[in-house]
Structure formats: C-alpha cells, structure tokens
Chains A and B, each alone.
Chain A
C-alpha cells in the first residue's frame, strides 16, 4: 500500500470521529472539539497531498496555516457563543437551546 493512503486513511478516521462527535455529543464544548478534529483531518489531507503529489512543497503548508488561523478564530467565536448560552441556560447542553423551534 502506498504511504499516501496511510495518511488519507488516518485523516478519514479523524474526520469521521469529528463528524460523529459533532452529530452526537450533547455538550457544546465537545462539539467544538469535534469540529477541531475535522479541521485537523483536512489539514492532514492537505499536507499529504502536498508531500506526495505536488511539485511545490509550500502550497499545502500555507493552506494548513490558513486552516489553523481559521480554527483559532472559530474557537474564539464558538467559545464566546457557548459562554453566552451558558449565561442564559446555566448549561452547555445543545438540547436546551430550542427557542427557534417552529
């Protein structure tokens, strides 16, 4: 088996774990962590493709740097939303925030 596939499988595993976490964990903190996992999986993909397929080594790394920046911003915003929700519901459970129910 080509070593590229090893990376891709690892990334796939990470992505699936993250997806599962986003869809199933009740806690907003856990969901945020899961999103981070999914972002990491994407980063791994970028690096792997960059390493094995691209002639220019820099492109994938730049993309990964962007992802890390985005993730940091996302974590900051996400945490502040979670904080605001916590103030309102005294809980970080996603099931509590159902006020927009039709």
Chain B
C-alpha cells in the first residue's frame, strides 16, 4: 500500500498522521484517506474536489500533473507527500 505523509502545517487544524492507503490513483488514495479523516478533505481539496490552488502532491518525488481529476498513477510502493506551496505573509 502507498505511504502518505502530510505537511506539518496542516496538523494544527486537523491531525493527519502518516498512514498507508491502497489505491491506483491519487483520487482513489485521497478518497480512502478522507473516509478516515473527513475534516481533512476541505483542507486539501476545493469545492470542485480539485487540489487547492496552493497545495501540492508529490509521488516518489515528482509533482502530480493532474490537479483537477487527480488521475496520476499510484503503486503499492509509492511515497505520497501532501504539501503546501510556500506563499503568503
């Protein structure tokens, strides 16, 4: 199963511990993840279920390409990182 880790910055809003989740795409992984942590969904995805503008997801060190449908492939050994882009003040 893929390993999923979150940015530290989300932790003060929603506790999101590192976990393992099955799924063959980013969408499938996130859907399962948010079944366990429902409050995290709106912190990562916008109202259209696309990745929020200033969030980023890496799979094995590569930024995902499909931020709208989240169709990038995930394997059993993938390391997934859900980060925020650095911006703001």
Q: Do A and B come from one complex?
A: no
Residues of A within 8 A of B (CB): none
Residues of B within 8 A of A (CB): none
